[in-house]
Amino acid sequence: MTDDPRPQGFDTLAIHAGAEPDPATGARQVPIYQSTAFQFRDAAHAARLFGLQEVGYIYSRLTNPTVSALQARVAALEGGAGAVCCSSGHAAQIMALFPLMGPGLNIVASSRLYGGTVTQFSQTIRRFGWSCRFVDLDDHDAVRAAIDDDTRAIFCESISNPGGYVTDIPAIAGIADEAGIPLIVDNTLATPFLCRPLEQGATLVVHSLTKYLTGNGTVMGGAVIDSGRFDWSASGKFPSLSDPEPAYHGLRFHETFGAAAFTFHSIAIGLRDLGMTLNPQAAHYVLMGIETLGLRMERHVANAQRVAEWLEADPRVAEVTYAGLQGSPWHERVQRLYPKGAGALFTIRLKGGYDACVAAIEKLQMISHVANLGDARTLAIHPASTTHSQLTEAQQIAAGAGPDLVRLSIGIENPEDIIADLDRALG
Ligand SMILES: *Cc1c(COP(=O)(O)O)cnc(C)c1O
């Protein structure tokens, strides 16, 4: 893209990474390659592509040029060796675990996670014979005690949904290193603008592209980004990556592809067989969104800080969990690890309890009552009766989603208008 040896800045990469002018037409914006299949030059070319001896396009369940551009862009923004995109954030979580796991194996995950992830990990993955142990990541002895010979990863969120808890990624990455297993970080809420988990020692990053990266609530998507640094062959614990793969004539992914092993496996086996493919239209929307990620995140964070300070001073509000506030237990950690801010999602606890939460939600006018976050619009929801309703009350409280809480995803409107709507709703 440029001969300049300096590393390019975040906002430059957000616009340019993965997006050369189209070689066939010169189109400056990444075209939507709305094609299921791609014509082979000749029979030998086709055979090389199928044998993974040459990288190229065969069939859009595996690879598509619009999706490839997005993969290159998210890998660049996270500082990874490669990325694979898939159909949703939840698909990305399965795609991240799939090469690592097998029947009887487990993961250790933070107790503070997106409600849907708690359900996926506590119930659905059991159908594959996988299991999950949830622990408080601030209790390092408990994390170490939860890891055994069958543990294949630690999973956490950088900033967690909904409680605004902030993970000490370097500390947890150190525990993962001691155990010889990868740390997987869901970086959806922080985005690579606020936090780059791979630089703090994580091996894999997963994203719901649905949220801030797209930024306008239009499409679903997910991504898995690999640091390229984990030694998949060191322990014998990751045979999918280190041992001969029968479907590709005994090819060993790690030996053959090195730093790209995880990404190649995710495409050649994961997308091929699980089929959780991102479509090129959705990839286009995400690419458009990412162009303004830095600008939007600055505004999201500034608005969240201002609204959180206003709410904290309001007598109707018992607690605001925003880690950008001085009194937050995570305030020091945010300043050390997330210096550009603590994101734009937090919860407020209302003195009137469950009933006051429901009443406030119903009185909102500009702010939308929806099950989403990371939109340009400010959004509100009562997690205990919606996103976290499949959890027990104890799990809800552990996840920072107790019955007397409202979750706010602060948008990029004028902050005075967000505050005016909240003031009216709190009645
Ligand atoms: C929304 C979300 C997910 C799930 O992503 P989808 O794109 O909805 O499948 C996972 N993790 C976090 C933190 C989320 O906010």
Q: Where are the domains of the chain?
A: 10-289, 294-426
Which residues surround ligand 1 with Cβ inside 6 Å?
88-90, 114, 116-117, 157, 161, 186, 188-189, 208, 210-211, 220, 222, 373
The answer to whether the 10-289 and 294-426 domains have the same CATH topology is no
Q: 294-426 belongs to which CATH class?
A: alpha beta
Ligand 1 atom closest to residue 372's alpha carbon, by position in its atom list: 1
* Residue 408 · residue 378 · CB < 8 Å: yes
Question: Given this model, what pLDDT does residue 219 score?
Answer: 97
- Fold for 10-289, please state it: Aspartate Aminotransferase; domain 2 (3.40.640)
- Overall average pLDDT of the 236-241 stretch: 97
Q: Which amino acid is at 396?
A: Q
Q: How would residue 339 be classed by pLDDT, with cut points 50, 70 and 90?
A: very high
Whole-number percent of the chain with pLDDT over 90? 87
Asked if the model's pLDDT at residue 375 lies above 90, the reply is: yes
Ligand 1 atom closest to residue 221's alpha carbon, by position in its atom list: 7
Asked if the model's pLDDT at residue 5 lies above 80, the reply is: no
Ligand 1 atom closest to residue 220's alpha carbon, by position in its atom list: 7
Global pTM reads 0.95
Cα 8 to ligand 1 centroid, rounded to whole Å: 29
Whole-number percent of the chain with pLDDT over 70? 99
Residues 360, 363, 368, 371, CA torsion sign: positive
Cα 89 to ligand 1 centroid, rounded to whole Å: 5
Q: How would residue 390 be classed by pLDDT, with cut points 50, 70 and 90?
A: confident
- Protein residue with its CA nearest to atom 8 in ligand 1: 89
- Overall average pLDDT of the 154-179 stretch: 93
- Protein residue with its CA nearest to atom 4 in ligand 1: 89
Cα 54 to ligand 1 centroid, rounded to whole Å: 33
Question: Given this model, what pLDDT does residue 386 score?
Answer: 86
Three-state secondary structure along the chain? CCCCCCCCCHHHHHHHCCCCCCCCCCCCCCCCCCCCECCCCCHHHHHHHHCCCCCCCCECCCCCHHHHHHHHHHHHHHCCCEEEEECCHHHHHHHHHCCCCCCCCEEEEECCCCHHHHHHHHCHHHHHCCEEEEECCCCHHHHHHHCCCCEEEEEEECECCCCCCECCHHHHHHHHHHHCCCEEEECCCCHHHHCCHHHHCCCEEEEECCCCCCCCCCCCCEEEEECCCCCCCCCCCCHHHHCCEHHHCCECHHHHHHHHHHHHHHHHHHHHHHCCCCCHHHHHHHHHHHCCHHHHHHHHHHHHHHHHHHHHCCCCEEEECCCCCCCCCCHHHHHHHCCCCCCCEEEEEECCHHHHHHHHHHHCCCCEECCCCCCCCCEEECHHHCCCCCCCHHHHHHCCCCCCEEEEECCCCCHHHHHHHHHHHCC
Query: Which of 117, 80, 115 shows the shortest CA–CA distance to 202?
Result: 80
CB burial readout 239-273, b (16+ within 10 A) else e: ebbbbebeebeebbbbeebeebbbbbbbbbbbbee
79-130 residue pLDDT tens: 999 999 999 999 999 999 999 999 999 999 999 998 889 999 999 999 999 9
197-216 residue pLDDT tens: 999 999 999 999 999 999 99
